Each structure stands twice: as C-alpha cells, then as structure tokens.
Amino acid sequence: MIVLLFGPPGCGKGTQSPRIQDWLNIPLIATGDMLRQEIRARTRLGRGIDEVLATGGYVGDSQMNRLLLRRTSQPDCSSGYLIDGYPRTVAQAIFLERLREKRGLPSPIVIHLRVAEDMLLTRLSGRRQCAECKRVHNIYTNPPRREGLCDCGVPLEERNDDRPEVVRARLQLYAEQTNPVLDYYGSRHCHTLDGMRHPDDVFGEIQSVLEPHLVRVRARHNRVNR
C-alpha cells in the first residue's frame, strides 16, 4: 500500500505520520527530513537545497525524484510506504505513478489534512523538532514531557523554515503547487480530512479511510496463498 500524506506546513503531518507508520508497519519516507539530512551532511545537493529552502522555495523535480527513487529502491519499500512531502508537483506525481506501476503496487491513497491559515501560523511558531529522532513537538499543542527537551532526551530545535515570513511564503507556494497535484489524483483517490480536531480524532479518521484498503490487501494476499 502507498499512502501519501498531504497538508500545508503545520497541519499535523509530523504528528500523524509516525502513528500511521506504526499502525501499518510500513516505512515512512519524510522527504523534508531527507533534505535536511543532506544539508547537515553538507553534500553538494545539500548546499543547493539549503539556499532554496531558506527563501521558502521548493527543491526541483529531478532532485526530488532522484531522492525518492533512491529511498524506494531499498528492500523495506517493496510492499509499500508512507510518504510525507512528495509529490509536490504533477511532474513528480507522474514519476511516482510510473515507478509504482513498474513495482506492481496499487494506486496511492491520498490523505489531505486541511487546516485554516491563522491556526497554521500559531502552530508553526510553536514547533520544535528533535535533531536525533526527528519527532516534532509543539510547545502549544504537543509539548514534550520536559521543557526544551525531546522525550528521547535530546534538546529540541526551532527550524529555520518556521520563521513567520518564511512560513507565509511556504503556505502560498504550498497552495499554488499542491492544488494541481490533488486535482491530478482526483476525488476517487484523495480524501480530505479536517486537520483542526484533536490528533487522536484525526488519526481515527485516517484509520477509517485506510481500513477498507487494508481489507483488500489482505484478501488479495489470501487468494495468492490459497
């Protein structure tokens, strides 16, 4: 199963994605974290994307496709994966479509979390990420057990791309770039959920969207094994 998690920055994807990953037992591909890793490692790719992200822009299709191809070619991705942060453009969606056909995987299920803009700005200004385990906390909505520290014990960091002026640019770009991608998948594959409720309620609705697909995967598995 391929699950694509969509929603503007601050919609709660970072909270929901580990829960979906644990529940379905499939790898999480968080392209934002992969890009930040490249930046920290000061690779050639990393230095290029650092400039783009600092101004609220997006990394180009060919770099993103290369990153995704490299990750999904690993053996843990053979029966499916959850992606956060890709595809960001129709060209990337078409690339993913060819890739998943080649691997014999079913069409992706798109989960789109919708949240109002003023709520996003509040949420983002409180966001702190752990550099070690990548868990995202929020001093308002999802505080760590001890102030300033991740639950794994590592100090939490404010991300450079969570500053207000950068956030506004990201939200603008997000809407411009993502709406055509959601249109590409259409209402048959795309499920838009209200991301403003409690994280437990949002996760419950995600489960009820994915549950019928799980039954289908299990049924096919049983047919093959009979």
- Does residue 130 bind Zn ion (CB under 5 A)? yes
Phi and psi (nearest 5°) for 8? -65, 160
| Nearer to Zn ion (CB atom), residue 40 or residue 114 | 40
3-state SS assignment for residue 8? coil
Q: What is the rounded CA–CA span in Å between residue 58 and residue 50? A: 10
Query: Which residues are catalytically annotated?
Result: 13, 88, 127, 159, 170
User: Given the rule CB under 5 A, which of 21-29, 56-64, 123-131, 192-200 is the region that contacts Zn ion?
Assistant: 123-131
Whole-angstrom Cα distance, residue 30 to residue 224? 32
Only one residue has tokens 């890009």, namely 35
Residue type at 77 in one-letter notation:
C
Q: How far is the CB of 126 from Zn ion (least distance, A)?
A: 17
Residue from 132, 183, 194, 201 in contact with Zn ion (CB under 5 A): 132
| Residue list 144-173, contact with Zn ion (CB under 5 A) | 150, 152, 154
The helix-helix angle for 44-54 and 61-72 (nearest 10°) equals: 130
Q: Which C-beta is closer to Zn ion: that of 154 or that of 214?
A: 154
Q: Segment 173-212, which members bind Zn ion (CB under 5 A)?
A: none
Residues near Zn ion (CB under 5 A): 130, 132-133, 135, 150, 152, 154
